Structure 1
Amino acid sequence: MSEVDVVVIGSGAAGLAAALAAAHGGASVLVLEASSRWGGSTAVSGGQVWVPANPWMAAAGFDDSPEEALTYCETAAPGRDSELVRRFLQAAPLMARFLEDRTPLRFSAVPAYPETFVELPGGKPARHIETGPVAVGDLGDAGELLWPAPLFEPVLTNQEIFEHRLFAGGPPPLDLIARRKALGVVTLGAGLVVGLLHGCHAAGVDLIRDRRVTELSCEESGRVVGVRTAEDRTVIARRGVVLASGGFEHDTRLRSRLLSGPLTHPVTPPIQHGDGIRLAGAVGAALEYTAEYWSWPACQVPGRVWPDAEATPQPQLVLPERSLPHTLWVNSAGRRFVNESSHNCALVFADLDPNTHRPRNLPAWTIGDAQFRAKYPVAGIPAGAPAPDWLIRADTVAELAERIDVDPIALQHTVTRFNTMAAAGRDDDFHRGQTRYEHAFGDATAPNPNLGPVTEPPFFALPVHPGAVGTKGGARIDRDARVLDWHDRPIPGLYAAGNSAAAVFGPGTFAGGLTIASALTWGWIAGNHLTSA
């Protein structure tokens, strides 16, 4: 048996921020990570942090205020707990400044990355910040330290990725990439985790991998006073425990029992098995928003797997295949069903056919042509590269329809109508390509950044699956990140942050980096409250 002031379960953004804040508040802190790699989902993320009214944005010439941010939140995500929204907006800038003061992280604004709904009241073109390159140093080999990112090797920043048009098939800055690799630095979510790890080490936090928590220890009064691990070891937590172990997207039983829509291809590392929600539920925590998840469209390249013992398939986000010209999506009826380039497009996979009670838009396909293949990447295959055998191709739309079991007449009609609208530069059916967010992920050199006719053979079809970057359901928390019971009373000694806590924002998203911002902010709040109470 060992004893510390604070036990943190999980080493992603939420857990490391909580550990760092508690340690600088004078507590002895132990972080227990269930897997052999640090960082969880944060390590494979873009690492953008949505922080309204932050000083880095102001330094870049963008004005903002907490009042405008609140207006945006209430408009884009109505019906959530206004007290928690206000608390987040108040704390997020303070959290970011704390991290820069206490770690090697150096933040800057990301002007190229707008909010999802800039056009709404209170919307802004630049509320995101990100870290610059961070040296891995004596932490070890980054390839073994963290989970590997599926899209971009983390050596360029988000701003650089946008500036070099890498989403749109632009040439990568090979010299810069080589210099960064030689320096041993990382960026994006990997850089965020590495910076937090350095800060935690400097603050005296004890970090242990391969140590899964299976039970919370409670006094008869209900106060949480420690944890038990899979090795049947007990750790006493004198001040409290922070649940920061992520969501449950990789647990098929919890997915089938709790989620309101289909989720078959989570893009997070295969470690999110619902430990947080189970631990919280076992001690009487109120659970909230368990049907929601941070939905994204995903695709799966055959043979691409995570480096775990089970060789779990590693899907990746669908980005170019929904945002760039010369593609459209269709369902099994051969019809379009959504604005493909919208940020929340994957929410539509939960729509049910009232006659069959099955998802009406699954299976779904990206349909594209030779123009797309010549200019843009598809499923990670570079522009102009030979098409892999697994990519379904055909010389006519009708033949392609046969190969994906879609009605040829319906598909031909859909493609013809889409081409007419794309040639005119306006999508009258779903309004694709009419927002600043969509343009940011489009091709600025095209007549319409997001629209182009699908006319040149060979045509291709890529399956699109319902994916996610995490689930949203978890323990209900208060303004201090304390876990609440079903009577809205704090459970003494228990806190939650990240995807182990019920999401403050939803049901969709209104800004990239909202997951990371929420994790860092509520983790920081939890760590501070643990050492100030």
Structure 2
Amino acid sequence: MTDTTDVVVIGSGAAGLAAALAAAARGESVVVLEASPRWGGSTAVSGGQVWAPNNHLQDEAGFADSEGEALAYCRAAAPGRDPELVETFVRSVPAAVRFVEENSPIRFTVVRGYPDTFAELPGGKPARHLEAQPLTTDGLGSPDELLWPPPYGAPVLTNDEFFEHRMFAGSAPPFDLTRRRLDAGEVALGAGLVVGLLRGCRDAGVELVRGCRVRRLIRADGRITGVEADRDGNPWRLTARRVVLATGGFEHDPDLRSQLLAGPLSHPVTPPVQHGDGLRLAADAGAQLSRTGEYWSWPAFRAPGRRWPDDAGTPQAQLVMAERYLPHVIWVNAAGRRFVNEASHNCAVAFAELDANTHRPRNLPAWAIGDAQFRARYPVGGVPPNEPLPDWLPSADSLDKLAALVGIDATALQHTVDRFNATADAGRDDDFRRGNTAYERAFGDATAAHPNLGTISEPPFFALPVHASAVGTKGGARTDHRARVLDWAGQPIPGLYAAGNAAAAVFGPGTIAGGITIASALTWGWLAGSDAP
């Protein structure tokens, strides 16, 4: 079967849906092809923050910003990146989020408690993040059938509400508000962003097709002219004037991970749909690939028995949050030593450090070591405070016994804890300066003596295994300032565009702001959909 449309978008996360919405707004016919039975990819299970410097809502919220300050921050926080693409992002993201508001039911608000990762650098600010307000699915179907379920429960509260109610520090959610949102069928965070974009696309006449995996790009006379896909088990040929790759990364493909990544990534937290389809399609079309060794690194843990609702029952890992930001916990490696500022945004980069003698990761395996003071106030491994620890989480009434249980050097662990306790009591971290930045303090416990620091001294003690994880890979097709995919000569491949994690990341090698992934996806998706072929 062969059909024709103006634009084919492959993937239905923030990048793909923004591209589809932008193309439809230009009057083009658009088809979105999603390989899985659920919409939204990793966007749907994310916090949904959009890092949008100099956006149209900051002034009225009392946070002044400018293009110049945003550029200064990006240059300081991500040195060595492509200056033209960095400038394109800074100049385009305000227009992209305004476009989304004007062409969908999404209404953004400023997340007041979320500073830039390196807010102390030139141009850094206390509030540049936007988030979509809660929305109903409005005829799209039940969220349980529509989207991938996030590991932290129903996504009905906003980031602002998480900060307001201290939920990052383990406080109980506002149950009445949660119940009202559930009863109303509303979703927030990344789920709300995806639902808003889906509703905008539906209202704009975009054809949305699930369970349709693209196998090949069609090329004729030197340009991409469509795709060949499997739709409900049947071959489907769809011709188009242009194709947008928005398939996400390759973190769930073990072969690509082992061949391309420069560091360990064993427990991705994204839904099991990022198998590198965009990377392979781009490579087959002759695209220049870039940033393939990088990924959006995060720490994760995995509770046994937690699985994604896919046919394979893929294990579901979760981000480590409380066990890195809050008092009365540290991370150690098998040698019993701390190795990073646990509360820093880029803490998981430390997992890539190699031992010069063994050529193996120096800091894996790793554990979060905490005590009864932590358990009295904060969750660990997803278990609320003061509830019994699960059987899978090691604990003991002494550090020596805990070290023996998990294989940590006991003498070094005791020395590490003693050193940490001595300085934590004085409200400082002499080794890694934990708690010295606005970002770290924002995610700490404002009601504690220090938001991020506290002694580890009261038994029983626990050891949560911490794994190398990611919210996506960064390698993909290199694009220009119009989101056009470039070949190895640096020339655009006619008819081919890329956005999101299917495109080479503009920022890195670490993360310069929470929500930079979704902001980049929306921006490059909007550019791809708006471009005139």
Question: TM over 0.5, yes or no?
Answer: yes
The aligned residue for residue 398 of structure 2 is 396
CA contact 1:57–1:129 (8 Å) conserved in 2? no
The match for 2:431 among 429, 432, 448 is 429
Q: Please state whether the residue corresponding to 1:488 is helix, strand or coil.
A: coil
What residue number does 2:10 align with?
9
Q: Please tell me the residue identity of whatever aligns with 1:40.
A: G
Summarize deviations over 1:426-485 as a string: whole Å, max 9, x none.
000000011000011100011110000000000000000000000000000000000000
1:90 corresponds in structure 2 to 91
Q: Which amino acid counterpart does residue 369 of structure 1 have in structure 2? A: D
Q: Say which SS state the counterpart of residue 122 (structure 2) adopts.
A: coil
- The corresponding residue for 1:167 is 168
Q: Which of 383, 390, 415 in structure 1 is aligned with 2:385?
A: 383
1:81 aligns with 2:82: yes
Q: Does 1:146 align with 2:151?
A: no
Secondary structure of the structure 1 residue equivalent to 2:357? coil
SS at match of 2:91: helix
Shift of 1:152: 4.4
Match of 2:259 among 257, 265, 269: 257
Query: Taking structure 1 as the reference length, what is the TM-score of the superposition?
Result: 0.99
| C-alpha distance in 2 between matches for 1:423 and 1:65 | 40
Tell me, what secondary structure is at the counterpart of 1:454?
coil
Aligned-partner SS, 1:433 = coil
Q: 2:501 aligns with which of 486, 499, 502?
A: 499
- The equivalent residue for 1:60 is 61
Q: Is the 8 A contact 1:4 1:235 kept in 2?
A: no
Instruction: Write out per-residue CA displacement over residues 248-290 of structure 1, whole angstroms, 9 at most, x where no aligned residue.
Output: 0000000000000000000000010000000000010000000
Partner amino acid for 2:425? Answer: A
CA distance in 1, matches of 2:234, 2:147: 26
2:441 counterpart of 1:453: no
**Greater mean deviation of Cα atoms: 399-408 or 232-241:** 232-241
CA deviations 1:30-60 (Å, max 9, x no partner) are 0000000000000000000000101111110
- Offset at residue 198 of structure 1 (A): 0.3
Change (3 A) 1:382 1:130: same
**1:83–1:479 contact (8 Å) kept in structure 2:** yes
Q: Distance in 1 between matches of 2:106 and 2:340?
A: 39
Aligned residues: 530
Q: Aligned letter for 1:80?
A: R
Correspondence for 1:29: 30
The 10-residue stretch of structure 1 (240-249 or 400-409) with the greater mean CA deviation from structure 2: 400-409
Counterpart residue identity of residue 474, structure 1:
G
Q: Distance in 1 between matches of 2:482 and 2:89?
A: 10
Aligned-partner SS, 1:273:
coil
Q: Residue type of the partner of 1:229?
A: A
Letter of the 1:298 counterpart? A
- How many Å apart are 1:238 and its aligned residue? 3.0
The equivalent residue for 1:157 is 158
Rounded Cα–Cα distance in structure 1 between residues aligned with 2:222 and 2:376:
62
Distance 1:83 1:407 in 2: 49
Letter in 1 for 2:9: V
Q: How does 1:307-386 map to 2 (within 5 A)?
A: 307-386=309-388
Aligned-partner residue type, residue 322 of structure 2: P
User: Secondary structure of the residue that 2:6 maps to in structure 1?
Assistant: strand
Residue 88 of structure 1 aligns to a residue whose secondary structure is helix
State the Cα deviation string for residues 328-353 of structure 1 (Å, max 9, x = none): 00001000000000000000100000
- Report how far residue 172 of structure 1 moved: 1.1
- How far did 1:237 drift? 3.5
Q: Supply the distance in 1 between the matched residues of 2:327 and 2:456 (Cα, whole angstroms).
A: 8
Consecutive aligned runs of 4 or more in structure 1 exceeding 6 Å deviation? none
1:267 aligns with 2:290: no
Kindly indicate whether the alpha-carbon contact (under 8 Å) linking 2:117 and 2:345 is maintained by their aligned counterparts in 1: yes
Aligned position for 1:222:
222
**Structure-2 separation of matches of 1:68 and 1:239:** 38
Give the superposition deviation at 1:379. Answer: 1.6
Distance apart, 1:117 and its partner CA: 0.4
| SS of residue paired to 2:240 | strand
Q: Match for residue 19 of structure 1? A: 20
Counterpart of 1:343 in structure 2: which amino acid? H
SS at 2:84's partner residue?
Answer: helix
Residues in 1 aligned to 2:447 and 2:136: alpha-carbon distance in whole angstroms: 35
Matched, 1:296 2:268: no
* 8 Å CA contact 2:226, 2:241 repeated in 1: no
Q: CA deviation at 1:234?
A: 3.9
CA distance in 2, matches of 1:152, 1:236: 38
CA contact (8 A) 2:371 2:459 kept: yes
Find the aligned partners of 1:169 and 1:294 in 2 and give their Cα distance: 25
Report how far residue 151 of structure 1 moved. 2.1
Output the CA distance in 2 between the equivalents of 1:310 and 1:152.
Answer: 21
Q: Map residues 199-210 of structure 1 onto 2, 5 A cutoff.
A: 199-210=200-211
Taking the aligned partners of 2:23 and 2:239, their CA distance within structure 1 comes to 12
The whole-number CA distance in structure 1 between the counterparts of 2:335 and 2:426 is: 25
Are the counterparts in 2 of residues 243 and 497 from structure 1 also a CA contact under 8 Å? yes
Decide whether the 8 Å contact of 1:299 with 1:316 is kept in 2: yes
- By how many angstroms is 1:232 displaced? 5.9
* Farther off after superposition, 121-130 or 376-385: 376-385
Q: In 1, distance between residues paired with 2:236 and 2:170?
A: 52
| CA drift at 1:377 | 0.7
Distance in 2, matches of 1:169 and 1:506, equals: 31
| Identical pairs, percent | 66
Amino acid at match of 2:297: S
Matched, 1:238 2:240: yes
Aligned amino acid, residue 347 of structure 2:
C
Matched position secondary structure for 1:527 = helix
Q: Please name the residue that 2:477 is paired with.
A: 475
- What does residue 135 of structure 2 align with? 134
Q: CA deviation at 1:153?
A: 2.2
**Distance in 1 between the 2:332 and 2:229 partners?**
47
Any gaps of 5 or more consecutive residues in structure 1? Answer: none
Partner of 2:120: 119
Alpha carbons 1:39, 1:147 under 8 Å: kept: yes
For 2:439 and 2:158, locate their aligned partners in 1 and report how far apart those are by CA, in whole Å. 18
| Corresponding residue SS for 1:374 | helix
Amino acid at match of 1:509: T
Q: In 1, Cα distance between the equivalents of 2:328 and 2:238?
A: 58
Give the aligned residue type for 1:477: T
Which amino acid in the other structure matches residue 30 of structure 1?
V
> RMSD over aligned Cα, in angstroms?
0.8
- TM-aligned CA deviation for residue 171 of structure 1: 2.2
Residues 195-249 of structure 1: per-residue CA shift (max 9 Å, x gap): 0000000000001000000100001x32000001134634333320000000000
Please give the alpha-carbon distance, in whole angstroms, between the structure 2 residues aligned to 1:522 and 1:235: 26
| Separation in 2, partners of 1:117, 1:126 | 12
Which whole-Å deviations, capped at 9, do the CAs of 1:485-504 have from their partners, x for residues lacking one?
00100000000000000000
Q: Identify the range of structure 1 (323-332 vs 227-236) with the bigger mean alpha-carbon deviation.
A: 227-236
Q: Which amino acid aligns with 1:97?
A: R
489, 492, 502: which one pairs with 2:491? 489
